[in-house]
Amino acid sequence: MAWTARTNGMGISLAGIMYGNSLYVTVGNNGATLVSSDGNSWNSVTSGTANSLTAVTWGNSQFVAVGANGTILTSPDGTNWTANTSGTTNQLYGISYGTVGM
C-alpha cells in the first residue's frame, strides 16, 4: 500500500482520526472536526466546542471525541455533536471502544 501526503487546506492542526459508519472523522485544535466519505475530500463541521480535541473513536453506533478540559462529545453521524459531562477538567488524550464477553 502506498501512502499519499495530504493537507486539509484549512490550516487546522489535527490529532485523531477514526473510520466508522462508512465515514472518516478527524478532530483537532480548537474543536476542529472534519468528515469524509472517501478519505480524500473533507468537510468541516461544527463540534460545538472551542476546546482542542485529541482523539476520536467509533463504537456502539456513535463517534466519541475527547480532548482538553475533560471534553467528551458524541455523535451518531460525525456531523451533529453533543457535549457530555466527564467529571474532570483534565486533558483527555485517548479513547477506545470494546466489549466484554462472557
The pLDDT value given to residue 102: 63
CB neighbour list of residue 58: distance below 8 Å, 6 or more residues apart? 18, 19, 20, 21, 25, 64, 97
Q: Which domains, from first to last, does the chain contain? A: 14-84 (2.40.10)
Q: How far apart are CA 38 and CA 82, in angstroms?
A: 24
57-68 pLDDT, tens digit each: 999 999 999 999
Of the candidates 71, 57, 52, the residue with the CA atom closest to the CA atom of residue 19: 57
27-84 pLDDT, tens digit each: 999 999 999 999 889 999 999 999 999 999 999 999 999 999 999 999 999 999 999 9
Reported confidence tier of residue 88, pLDDT bands at 50, 70, 90: very high
